[in-house]
Chain A
Amino acid sequence: MSADAKPMQSDLGLYDYLPWTERPKITWPGDKKIAVWIAPNIEFYEYNPPNNPTRTPWARPNPDVLQYSHRDYGNRVGWQRMMAAMDRAGFRGSVSLNVALCDHHPEIIKACADRGWEFFSHGIYNTRYVYNMTIEQEREIIRDAFDTVRKHTGQELAGWLSPALSNNFWTMDILSEAGIQYTCDMFHDDQPMPVKVKSGKLISMPYSLEMNDVIVYNTQKVTPRHYGEIIKRQFDQLYKEGADSGTVMCIPLHPYLVGQPHRIDAFAEAIEYIAGHEGVWQTTGREIAQAYHASGAYDAFNAAMATHNAQGGSR
């Protein structure tokens, strides 16, 4: 559809620049120093997915049984170990959900729902990308996600992480228009930030590439024990800085990775370490978004950016 086509731009103008030193203070409920949220990506990768010309789902021709089965490990085995570790440390999950998993594995959905975990959308399948979709096709994905999560869990979606981090230039506008409150697709800050969209009050929620087990294990090739160390160090610093203004730490997970027997204990120890500190708000993405608005931070950040811009700052 040519109406959706647009030349590439150097910057989509989704957020204004605001230096770290000019930020309003964030106050979390109960004057907690740091909001820590854990985002398990509970995903379904297809055995024989259709191709998308921009990105081929599997490195090998379908069926790529090694990679497919490696992901499937998460839904047969890994999720239970991950959930047990989170239970012990008192963490609820904010599930980054490929919503078709509601149909495939309702048992996993029920176990998460029974614990009061939040579900946010990570698309339909992790092997279907929004690349080359029309706006209407992408809106249909969003509708499907809202309907599926509502039907299976009774929850109204608040958050979004695009499937396999695939995006279009209009994605943030249509997410916000549909009622999404926070996106996890941007990594430009440690604090929630207003996103400039055509309608609504969308915020970017600090997710993390660097704390994400798939990046740590599959890209950076880090050992499990070192992953435990970097989680603790990331926490220590943000905890210290949280004395001045509320901070956010996210740990994005994939049960097929962190739920492996050689990895689970180092992760479990790290989150128990976090939970053992005073002033830690063990929370969810939805609750952080709500507190950000309720505390006035959203408006204060917009005002601070307007001031910065008025003084000659650029985005």
Chain B
Amino acid sequence: MPMPDDYLDYPHRRYGMDHDRYDWSDMFKRKPISWPNGARIALSIVTHVQYFPLDMPSKPFKAPGALSMPYPDFRYYTNRDYGNRVGVFRVLRLLGELGLKTSFAINGIIAERYPALLRAVVEGGHEVVAHGLDMGKVHHSGLTEDEENAIVAEALRLLRDASGQSVSGWLSPGRAQGFNTPEILARNGVAYGLDWANDDLPYDMRTQNGPLVAMPMAYETDDRVVADEYFQSEPQWVQQVKDRFDVLYRESADHGGRVMSLPLHSWVSGMPYRIEYLREVLDYILSHDGVWTAPTSEICAAFRASS
């Protein structure tokens, strides 16, 4: 069958983006951002804490890291759950030793299943970011608004109740969204999201329910992506993270404050053989003057104050 002629129609061919979610802008021509105390780099460390249900659906798609063996997949269910039992505490210990207050993006169901994990994150002085309900509940345009809203509201309720924090940050499982996800997030009191991978700086998104800040989060230097999608070694991950930092640090001299985002997974970087590579990365970054490490919500607030 030939394509219908309207395949050659381009209704959104116009200046700027092909949607109204945000405006195009050239990152190198924006008003420079000033971080507190004249910092050059805001270091945003976001550790993913995830629960992959044994019965997670495969439609319409699976979030990365999903179980892949026939049911019951003991192999990956337990390997991912290792992150919740051991890995996350190893990461917390390292961050504590370095005196860093960071962010943990946590599936809502973790608050119900493992309250001690939530307590440890909160007692460590870290920010709780909502990471959806669980890794089997991906957000997509096939959900009705009510269905998606129920997932968002439940995840936020569980995490807010367990942490006592306002929980204003959001990271979708698999960084996946439907057309209305930003509207639903804003309606539920979310101030910033981490799903979009199009910038190295925060920027403003529009929703019908008020503004939402898109906070940067590196995609290709994520520990899981490097290990499980690129199959690269830990030293290769370390090198790329250092190289990323070097360029952002250099740019900050001429272009204002930059954000260095470091996405981690408790079941990846929390492995015994990987944790000291994480220390190497953090030691390297922190050896530079003008690095401000903070929970992502504080970096978002500083962006708001500066813009």
The 3 A-B residue pairs whose C-beta atoms are closest, nearest first, are A262-B244, A261-B247, A69-B198
Q: How far is the CB of B167 from chain A (nearest CB, A)?
A: 21
CB-CB contacts below 8 Å: B164-207 with A: 174-179, 181, 195-200
Picked from B17, B24, B142, B241, the residue with its CB within 8 Å of the CB of A47 is: B17
Q: Which of A66, A141, A261 meets B8, CB within 8 Å?
A: A141
Which stretch from B25-33, B82-90, B91-99, B291-299 is at the chain A interface? Answer: B25-33
- Give, as a whole number of angstroms, the nearest-CB distance from B198 to chain A: 4
- 7 A-B Cβ contacts within 8 A? A50-B7, A105-B16, A132-B1, A137-B5, A260-B220, A262-B221, A262-B244
* Partner pick for A66 among B7, B26, B60, B175, CB 8 A cutoff: B175
Task: Determine the residue in chain A with the shortest Cβ distance to B177.
Answer: A65
Known contacts A60-B61, A133-B2; is A66 also within 8 Å of B195 by CB? yes
| A46 pairs with B12, CB closer than 8 A | yes
Query: Once bound together, how far apart are the Cα atoms of A107 and B230, in whole Å?
Result: 34
Contact B61 A62 (CB under 8 A): no
Q: How far is the CB of A13 from chain B (nearest CB, A)?
A: 24
Pick out which of these stretches binds chain A: B65-73, B128-136, B231-239: B231-239
Q: Is the CB of B2 within 8 A of A132?
A: yes
B199 in contact with A73 (CB, 8 Å): yes
- Which A residues are in CB contact (< 8 Å) with B14? 103-104
Which B residues touch A260, using CB under 8 A? 220, 244
Known A61-B142, A76-B26, A128-B7: A261·B200 in contact at CB below 8 Å = yes
Q: Are B13 and A53 neighbours in the complex by a CB distance under 8 Å? A: no
Residues of A within 8 Å of B60, CB to CB, are: 60-61
B244 contacts A105, C-beta separation under 8 Å: no
What is the distance, in angstroms, from B35's C-beta to the closest C-beta of chain A?
17
- Give the chain A neighbours of B175 by CB distance below 8 A: 65-66
Is the Cβ of A124 less than 8 Å from the Cβ of B10? yes
B-chain residues with CB within 8 Å of residue A221 when the two chains form the complex: 229-232
A63 touches B178 (CB 8 A): yes
Q: Which residues of A contact B276 (CB under 8 A)?
A: none
Q: Mark A83-119, 1 if CB is under 8 A from B, else 0.
A: 0000000000000000010011111000000000000
Give the one of A1, A76, A263 with max B CB within 10 A.
A76
| Cβ contact within 8 Å between A66 and B178 | no
Q: How far is the CA of A69 from the CA of B213 in the complex (A)?
A: 15
Contact A265 B246 (CB under 8 A): yes
Task: Number of B interface residues at 8 Å Cβ cutoff, please give it.
Answer: 57
Most buried by B among A103, A140, A141, A262: A262
A149 to B99, CA, bound (A): 55
How many angstroms from the CA of A265 to the CA of B243 in the assembled complex?
Answer: 8
How far in angstroms is the closest Cβ of chain A from B116?
Answer: 32
Contact indicator B197/A66 (Cβ below 8 Å): yes
Question: Quick one: given A77-B27, A221-B230, A223-B232, are A103 and B243 in contact (CB under 8 Å)?
Answer: no
Do B3 and A103 touch across chains, with their CB atoms under 8 A apart? no
Known interface pairs A80-B28, A223-B232; A59-B176 also in contact (CB < 8 Å) = no
Choice from A47, A66, A223 contacting B236 with Cβ under 8 Å:
A223
- Chain A neighbourhood of B240, CB < 8 A: 223-224, 262
**B138-186 residues at the A interface, CB under 8 angstroms:** 140-142, 174-179, 181
A104–B15 touching, CB < 8 Å:
yes
Q: How far is the CB of B279 from chain A (nearest CB, A)?
A: 19
Smallest CB–CB gap between B139 and chain A, Å?
9
Complex CA gap A260/B1 in Å reads 40
Q: Does B18 contact A (CB under 8 A)?
A: yes
**B-contacting residues, A141-177, CB 8 Å:** 141, 144
Q: Is A225 engaged at the interface, CB distance under 8 Å to the other chain?
A: yes
Please tell me if the beta carbons of A137 and B8 are within 8 angstroms of each other in the complex.
Answer: yes
Partner of B239, one of A47, A64, A141, A225: A225
Min Cβ gap A253→B in Å is 15
Tell me the complex Cα distance, A44–B245, Å.
28
**Chain B residues, CB < 8 A from A52:** 3, 7
Instruction: Check A104 against B243 for contact (C-beta < 8 Å).
Output: no
Residues of B within 8 A of A77 (CB): 27-28, 198-200
Contact among B18, B25, B219, B232 for A46, CB-based, below 8 A: B18
